[in-house]
Amino acid sequence: MSDASEAPAVEADGLSKSFDGQLAVDQLHLAVAPGEVFGLVGPDGAGKTTVLRMLSGALPPTAGTAKVLGFDVAAEAHRVHRAIGYLPQRFSLYQELTVEENLRFRARVYDLAGRALGDRLESLLNLTQLGRFRHRLAGALSGGMKQKLALAAALLPAPNVLLLDEPTTGVDPASRGDFWETLLGLAEKGTTVLAATAYMDEAERCRRVGLLYQGRLLVCGSPDEVRRQAGLSLLLVSCQPLLHGRSILQEALGVRWVEVFGDRLHVALGLGGTAEAVQESLERAGGRVTRLQPIEPTLEDVFFEFVRSRRETET
Ligand SMILES: Nc1ncnc2c1ncn2[C@@H]1O[C@H](COP(=O)(O)OP(=O)(O)OP(=O)(O)O)[C@@H](O)[C@H]1O
Ligand SMILES: [Mg+2]
C-alpha cells in the first residue's frame, strides 16, 4: 500500500524526448507511488512507448530527468535496468524455445541460478498459470499465454517496479481479465505497476490514469477524478436510423459531439443543450427515438473530450 509520505517509485520531471527535432515526449511530470497501479493511455504515436523506454533506462532523455526506485534513468541506467521489470510492446522472447527454456535463458541476465532460480521459476509458472505449458514452444502459445510468459520473464528479477507496454493488446477479454488480476495482486504486495493500455476497461482498473496526446499529459488522476474534470453532460440515445441520427445531431445546436457505440449514440451536450432539444431534433428529421437518457461518461468518452478540447485550442 502506498503512503503520501513515501518517496515515489517512479518520478519524472520535465522528461522530454525528441527524434530528429520532433518532440515525441514533451515535458512529462509524473509521480507514481509505491504499490500504485498507473495506466498510461493515448492514441497511436502519443509517446507511451517512448515514456516507458526512457523510464526503463533504455532510451536517454533529451531533456528533463526521471528517477525509478531512486535511480536516475540517465546516469544510473544500468541500475534501473536491473531493478525493474519491463514488458515490451512486441513479443521479445524466443519462439523456438520452450516456456521454461525462455525463462532460464533470460534468468542469466540477472545472474539467477541453482536453487534460487528453480524456486523463482516455480513461483512464476504458478503465478502465471503456465506450469502445464512449461515444455511448450513459446511460438506455439496462444496470444494470452505469450503475454503471461512475457510477464513471467519481466518478473524474474523480482522487481519493485513493473513497466508494461500494452501487455494485453490482441488478447481475448477473459485472458485480459486474468492478466489484470495478476497485476493487481502484485500491486497489493507492493509492486508499482505502470502500464500503457489501449483498453478503457483496463484503464478503469488503475488507481490513476494519465492521458498522453502528442507527447503531452493532458489529464491525470483517478478514473473518477478525470471523469469529474471533463465535466461532460452525456446522453445515451437509441434511434432509427442510427447513422442518420448521428448526422442530424452533429449539426444540432447544443450538441458538442456524437459518437457511435454499437447500436447507440453517446451525445455530449454543449452550452444550452438539453435532452428535450435532442429528442426534438431527431424526431423533426424523421428519426424514431427508442431510448434517450443521461448516463455517466465512460473513460473513453472522457478522453475523447480531452483530445477534442486540445484540438480546439490548437486550431
Ligand atoms: N526510434 C525512433 N526514431 C524516430 N521516431 C520515433 C522513434 N520512436 C518513436 N518515434 C516517434 O515518436 C512518437 C511517439 O512514438 P511512440 O512509439 O512512443 O508512441 P506510442 O504512444 O507508443 O504509440 P503506439 O500506440 O502506436 O504504440 C511517434 O511520432 C513515433 O513515430
Ligand atoms: Mg507504443
Q: Residue 252's domain spans which residues?
A: 233-296
Which pLDDT score is estimated for 2?
46
- Going by pLDDT thresholds of 50, 70 and 90, the confidence category of residue 315 is confident
* Residue 101 sits in the same domain as residue 160: yes
Note whether 46 and 132 are same-domain residues.
yes
Q: Does one domain contain both 238 and 171?
A: no
pTM > 0.95: yes or no: no
Q: Are 119 and 254 found together in one domain?
A: no
Q: Which atom of ligand 1 is nearest to the CA of 52?
A: 18
Are residues 153 and 169 located together in one domain of the fold? Answer: yes
Domain match, 273 and 171 both: no
- Give the closest residue (by CA) to ligand 1 atom 9: 50
Distance 91 CA to ligand 2 centre (A): 13
pLDDT mean across residues, the chain: 95
The grid cell for 90 is 512486441
Assigned domain for 311 exists: no
Average pLDDT over residues 188-205: 96
- The answer to whether the beta carbons of residues 107 and 153 sit under 8 Å apart is no
35 lines ligand 1 (CB under 6 A): no
**Is 302 inside any structural domain?**
no
22 and 94: one domain? yes
The answer, yes or no, to whether residue 72 has pLDDT greater than 50, is yes
Is 172 found in the same domain as 282?
A: no
Q: Is 303 within a domain?
A: no
Statement to judge: residues 55 and 120 lie in one domain: yes
Distance of CA 160 from the midpoint of ligand 2 (Å): 22
> Based on the domain organization, do 280 and 167 belong to the same domain?
no
- Residue 77's nearest CA partner among 61, 63, 89 is 61
Q: Which ligand 1 atom minimizes the distance to the CA of 215?
A: 14
C-alpha cell belonging to residue 300: 473513453
Domains of the chain: total? 2
* Cβ proximity of 96 and 139 under 8 Å: yes
Alpha carbon of 211 to ligand 2 centroid (Å): 14
The answer, yes or no, to whether residue 170 has pLDDT greater than 90, is no
195 and 285 in a single domain? The answer is no
Give the mean model confidence (pLDDT) for residues 252-281. 95
Residue 269 has pLDDT above 70, yes or no: yes
User: What local confidence, expressed as pLDDT, does residue 5 receive?
Assistant: 60
